[in-house]
Every structure is written in structure tokens, then in C-alpha cells.
Amino acid sequence: MAEKPSVAKDIANVIGANQRKDGYYEGNGYQVSWTYGHLCTLKEPKDYVDDWKYWNLRYLPMVPSRFGIKVIEQDSIQRQFKIVERLVQNATEIINCGDAGQEGEVIQRWVLLKAKCKAPIKRLWISSLTEEAIKEGFANLKEGDKFNNLYAAGSTRAIGDWLLGINATRLFTKKFGHQKQVLSIGRVQTPTLAMIVNRQLEIDNFKSEDYWELRTLYRETEFNSVLGKIKKEEKAKYALEKITEEEFEITSFEQKEGKEKPPRLFDLTALQVETNKKLGYSADETLKYIQSLYEKKLVTYPRVDTTYLPDDVYPKIPGILKNLKYYQELVAPLLEGKIRKSKQVFDNKKVTDHHAIIPTGVVPSGVSPEEKRVYDTVVKRFISVFYPDCKVSNTTVLGEVLKLEFKATGKQILSLGWREVYENDKKKSKDKEEKIMPVFEKGEKGPHEPRIDQKKTSPPKPYTEATLLRAMETAGKQVDDEEMRELMKDNGIGRPSTRANIIETLFRRRYITRNRKSIVATQTGIDLIKVIENETLKSPELTGDWERKLRLIEKGEFQPDQFKKELVDMVVGLTNEVLFSEKQHAITILDEEELKQKKKKKRSSTKKVEITELNCPKCESGTLIKGKKAYGCERFKEGCKFVVPFEFMGKKLTNKQLADLIQKGKTTKIKGFKVPGSEEKKDGKLQFTEDHNIELIE
């Protein structure tokens, strides 16, 4: 059982199941089917208690005594599930071929659970979809029970998100929402939004101050005064006046040779950071491109959180390098001798479920220009880690005038090493060549050209997608050191595979917006974080602690029931805290154009209602989307069947009439409805029935 039809086809070809059937392949004693990703999901509130379908504060918190799963209410999914269910019940053995990760395990296990699987289960665990990897995986199938902790962590994560997401979203929506706007709260999305809002408030409240820096030019080299930022102009001018006529003297000249190691291989977050900085791709776009490259057998499994390779991959490296046919100029020097094996690349102890993202050696074909750029990024990083270290000369020069010390530093590359891989990229980007610092002698003196530069203190920089991903990885802490980041990954918020979706959700909910490369909190996002008084809900550190516990569950070192209990206690406490809060604050979701108009205080006529800004009155959580003939709920794939047509009984409805129907449940009186089967016309109001069908009343 694979996750996607394309993967099922690859597996079927390898194991000889070559007969195409309805919803599966068959042959050589195997049947190979697929799940289209999620076929099953956790039950909705209404599936447990009928009253829970209503968004009402008196039903909160909703805590099922036992969580259940159901098949998603969509015809194509229901049909495929029935096929899988029949195959599972008639099989003598099940081979779970889902994506080899936490989410993949949960997707397949839920289907097997719902299909009442009684056959023994084996697990195909592979890091690429090449024919060689699939054959090797089938020759070394693992016992399904070995992955019980992985499943426990994934299902506990889903239950945790349900408990907090559904309860907190309804709680804050009903307490603080305006009209039918939904205030979306999530275990990961809310602390992520809090980081962005806090940074935004720091920027908005920042008061810039003037300062002065004292510099001097000696032998075409710029030296900076150790006084740093001088807060008073008089002090800067006084120092300048004193040193202008005096000679500059070199007190120290030191050159040290150093080495720069190659950068680490990519995990998913590092790749998303790199492509955002260098190519401008969003985290979500990069995930789509690298996932597509994986399914085309060009790279290994991408949803990983490690930058290391296991020792058993080392013998395969020369073969992969030889097959990188478009990169032979870079590969040739490596193949002339023994391939470098460093602890920075190969470390069994630091490999998790999978290893770092590397190319498979399959020759690319049928890739889009965007995929090609991402592939090139992965391949060059892979090649670079086997190159020698880059040798540099670091120079530090100290000088003084009237005992006032100045300093200049410089770096000169002596041997490119791994930087050779990126030389062509550097030439294309027209980088300025490094200026080589002259050699100075201790004790030498001479005239110089001092000056003072007036500057202003700068506010913190807004997050870009790259810096936000890094902040999520380190639970909001500023960490530049790669080793330290590696140690903090267990406490990061979200997982590499989910962070892109979390960011996209915040964009979709209009809590954040883009300003070129910067990510900016909207007024709605700021208002939402301000109204949440519970620090646990907003804290990246505490959410990071939950993530750490989920990883411990994965390792069998923490009990899922304990994690659920902690979340239930939090949800109950949060509910009581908000219900009895004195705070009264309505939050309205405005688009950016409305915000601009509001700021300029422009008076306008009655605001045009945008239907796609409204929430579905049936499921009360999806946003409406526009089709060719009707508006419908964005959650139609999850089973919400709400539809409101543009035209009813021959009468085209205005935007205002549609908005009244959706928001208030009925319209004012409308003239000119056509009675079916006659020429007669009828006037009346439209309203929704209990099932959200439209009826005409007089």
C-alpha cells in the first residue's frame, strides 16, 4: 500500500505486478494500491456529540473520551477506500509502503485500522524511489511493529492539534470574533504568529537615535575607532579635531592562516532557507519542488531534519558522483583520489529516520526550470562537502593616534577548496572581488584622513521566510552557530515537513502579509495576539517543549497519554481563563487595501461585500471560494457540501443579497423569481433550511 498512484506504479514495476486493475495493480502474487495521501482523518466534533456541531461557548471545552477516525466524506476517497479495504481484508500480508516518516506512518496506519486489517504488517523503509532502492528495500522489509512509536507520536500530534486547535479556535472566535469571522488558533501557528507580531511591534515602536562613528583612512585601508557608536556629536568632533594633525602609527599587524569547512548537507529547513535567500522561493514552493524531484527519483527523501549521512552510504558516493553527468567538471577532481570522509558529513549517531537530502545519481529529465534550480542547489552542496577546506588568511591590524586605538580586519582566500564549486555562480552574480589588504610594519607612521560618519540606529529587521524558518527551528532564539542549531532541533516548533504549511496558513488567514521579501503582521494578526493573554499558547519555547516531548514519544521515552493529559489540562485552563475574562475586544479581519483606507480616514459609500471574505455558514470554519456558477466552501474536499448559486429560480442575485443570505440566513424581499413551468413571477425572501438548502418564503 503506497501513498500515491505514481509511487504505487514504480513499486508495481519493480515487483512484477504489471496488470492494471481498478484502483490497484496486480501480478506475481502482489496487489499494489494507494491512499491518495489522507483517506482517513480524525472525527469532527459533531461525530462525537450532536450538540458539538454548534459553535457555542457552553459546549467548551470539547474533550472526547476516546478519539476516533473516519474516512473523509468525498466520493473519490470513499471509492478508493472501499477498494483498499477489500484488498486488505483478503490479503495474507500487508506491506506498508507509505512515505517513510511520521506523517506517512499515520496516513497508512489509519487506513489499515479503519479497514480492520488482521494480516501481519511489514514496512518498506527507503530513502529514494530508484529501482535499486526499492529492490533493496523489499529485500530488507522490516516488521511493522518496529514503527509503533513513530505512529504513536504522529497520532498524538494529530490529537494534540485537534484538542487545542478546535477548542481554542471556537473559544476565541465566539468570545472575540466579529460577525462570522473565524479566529484561527493552533498549537504551532499561534506561537509562530506571536514571533512575527512581537518583531513587528518592536519595529513599529522603535525610536531611531543619531550616533557618530570615528574612522580614518591610512594607506588606502579603512580603520574603525574602538570607541564604536559615539552618542554625542560634540565628543566625536572633539576626537576628530585632536587627531587630525597627528600621525597614524601601526601598533600590531597579525596574519593567521585558517580553514573554512564546507557547508553542511541540506535538511529540509536548510534547503528552504537557502532557496528563499538565493532564489526567492517560499518554503511551500521549495517543498513542492523537492517533493516532485523525489518522486522523479532524482533526490532522496526530502522531509528530513538531519544534515548527516550514515556510514553505509559512503561506498555509494563514487557511483552517485560518476552519474552526475552535467557536473563532471566539478566531479572529476574528486574521482582522481579517495573520496573525503569527514565527521561533519558521516555520523550514524546523528542520522534520524532518514539521512540528509542528496542526489540519487539518476539523470534528470522532465523537470521544470524551478525544479532544475532546486536540484542544482542540492547537487552543488553534495559535491562541495567532498572538496577540501577553503584556506584563508585572516588579517588584523591595530593602529593608534594619541593613544586612541583603531582597528582594521581583512580576509584573503589562499586556496578556494570547496568554494571552487560555486565560482561560476559568483562570476554570474558579478560579486565584487575581495580587496587584498597591504602588508603593514609595526611602528610605521604616516599621515591619515580621519572623518566622522553620522548614522542612525536601525530597528530590528522584519522576518523573511528564511529567517522565520530558522526562528521556528530554534523556538525563536537567535542562533547562528550550526552546531548549536543542530542541538536545538528537538525543541524547534513544528516539523520540517509542516513549517511551510503553517506559514501558508497564516498568509491564508490574513494574519500576515508579504512586503517584498519581508513578512509583516497585519492589524488582525496583531489584534489576535494582543487578545490572547495565555502565555503558553503564544510561547515558542513552551511549544518547543511540546515538540521535544513528541520526539521523545517517537523514541519510546515519553507516554502519549501523559502528553494528551497535559494538553487537556491546558485546554480546560485556557477555556476557564477566557470565559471569565473581563476583556471585551472584537477583531475584524480586514484586507490590506481596507487597512490603507482606514489609516487615511477616507470616507466612502457603503463598503462592497466580498463573498470570498466570508466563512461558510454550514461548517463555520472554511472560507468561501468562487466557482463558475456558485460560491462554495474551501473545505469541500473534507466533506463540506455548502453551495450557494449566483442565480436562483431565474433571478440573478446581487452581491448584497448573497451576503445577507450567507451572514444572516435570509435576504430582504426580492422581486421577480420565475415559477417553474409557468410564466408567473413571484416575490419573496430567500432563507436557508436546516440543511443549508435555499428556499423561497413569502
Active site residues: 301
Nearest 10 degrees: CA dihedral of 668, 671, 672, 675? 60
Grid cell digits, residue 155: 497520532
Q: Are 672 and 692 in contact (CB under 8 A)?
A: no
Helix axes 496-508, 465-473, angle to 10 degrees: 130
Q: Within 13 Å, how many C-alpha atoms sit on residue 436's CB side?
A: 7
Q: Order of strands across the sheet with 518-521?
A: 463-464, 518-521, 512-515
Distance, in Å, from the CA atom of 129 to the CA atom of 413, rounded to the nearest integer, reads 40
Grid cell digits, residue 606: 457603503
Beta strands in 356-491 (DSSP E): 390-401, 404-415, 445-446, 449-456, 463-464
Q: Order of strands across the sheet with 221-225?
A: 445-446, 248-260, 390-401, 404-415, 221-225, 210-218, 449-456
Distance, in Å, from the CA atom of 318 to the CA atom of 314, rounded to the nearest integer, reads 8
Collapsed DSSP state (helix, strand, coil) of residue 431: coil
Listed as own residue / partner, the contacts of 334-337 with beta carbons closer than 8 Å and 24 or more positions apart are 334/383, 334/386, 334/387
Q: Are 163 and 567 in contact (CB under 8 A)?
A: yes
Q: Are 285 and 430 in contact (CB under 8 A)?
A: no
Q: Are 169 and 183 in contact (CB under 8 A)?
A: yes
Collapsed DSSP state (helix, strand, coil) of residue 124: coil
Nearest 10 degrees: CA dihedral of 21, 25, 31, 32? -130
The CA angle 466-470-473, to the nearest 5 degrees, is: 140
Please report, as a single letter, which amino acid is at residue 338.
K
Distance, in Å, from the CA atom of 327 to the CA atom of 321, rounded to the nearest integer, reads 9
Distance, in Å, from the CA atom of 317 to the CA atom of 311, rounded to the nearest integer, reads 11
